[in-house]
Amino acid sequence: MTALIKPHGANALTPLIVSDSKRNALAEEAAGLTKLAVSSAAAGNAVMLAAGYFTPLNGFMTKADAMSVGATLKTTNGLFWPTPVLNLVSDASALSVGDRIALLDPNVDGHPVLAVQTIESIDQFSEEELATLTKQVFGTTDSEHPGVAEFQSQGNTAIAGPIEVMNYSYFETEFPDTFRTAVQIRESIAEHGWKRIVAFQTRNPMHRAHEELCHMAMERLDADGLVIHMLLGKLKPGDIPAPVRDAAIRKMIELYFPANSALVTGYGFDMLYAGPREALLHAVFRQNMGATHFIIGRDHAGVGDYYEPFEAQDIFDQVPQDALEIELFKADHTAYSKKLNKVVMMREAPDHSKEDFVLLSGTAVREMLSEGKAPPVEFSRPEVAQILMEHYQS
């Protein structure tokens, strides 16, 4: 069997989900432990740790590691890591170092136990330290930024230490056909016999330009397979819900990609909207799931006007050579060319003016869909537009 790309910082994945044989004993223990309600962000971190995406981390970071990641893109022991993986709370008065505690899932009815954590340290961030970390990770401290607002709402005390995770929260039950762990995606890649694998990140439905970008990347990289990997966690208001995105993307793959050339998968995490830093994180966990190449386009993981259009590509030039094995496919803005009757990367059509492209803003597309009008076929496949129209009109 073909050897897949190595996981980040390890020879094998280190998923923190407990085995079936240990689950009952851990559940019994958890029943008698101090309970801690965690934030949705911490729950997402736990799911990513459980699924092997955050290999080789063994749990939540200490304050020292988080500050080191913010300042240097490395943990205190030198592991390349782009964003802090924290369990932040506002009140830790009932907790002590050495305790084992049961972490309650904020996103599932009845708040069941999501994981058990062994507390290695409890550290408070000063206001100044949190502001510094916020600026380093998000590039801004503006509370209008959805990622900043979420981060600043979690509390200032880091509960650090290893975790054992009981389940994948709501992701496995709500998205049984789409949610996949890093372990499962590696298994699928191996079953297909793929050697060169392109990963595509999305939190939106895929329009013609995204579809063609995937075809372009596969062709130019001579790739065997494509893994469309969609975020299934919390988004900002107005973003299209995961089930609708999922249906739209599956329809596109079914009709416009060769059989067995693409996997439609998803992961359980809330969007950070951290632009360049989140692009690095995306690359880390795409390497962990077995992809050899990763598409990064214009304004990857961005929001509003907080980041320059290609800042998420440029940040990879600051990363040490040996930090990541996954390679980038750097994409420009793609759009349909009326001159050439196909989707192109705009930088590869220097003889075009703006009028030669079919360009639509997200707002314009949403308005069309909500009025029951399909966007032009150059922008969106009619079968995909139909699914989106039904969503907007409901």
Known catalytic residues?
203-204
DSSP, collapsed to helix, strand or coil, labels residue 42 as: helix
Phi, psi of 250 (to 5 degrees): -60, -40
Dihedral of alpha carbons 78, 83, 86, 90, sign:
positive
Interatomic CA distance for residues 101 and 356, integer angstroms: 60
Residues 330-354 as b/e (b if ≥16 CB within 10 A, e otherwise) read: bbbbbbbbeeeeebbbbeebeebee
- Residue 36: exposed, middle, or buried by beta-carbon count in 10 A (0-12, 13-18, 19+)? buried
Interatomic CA distance for residues 311 and 136, integer angstroms: 14
Beta-bridge partner residues of 345: 334
Q: Cα–Cα distances in Å, from 381 out to 256, 258, 341?
A: 9, 16, 15
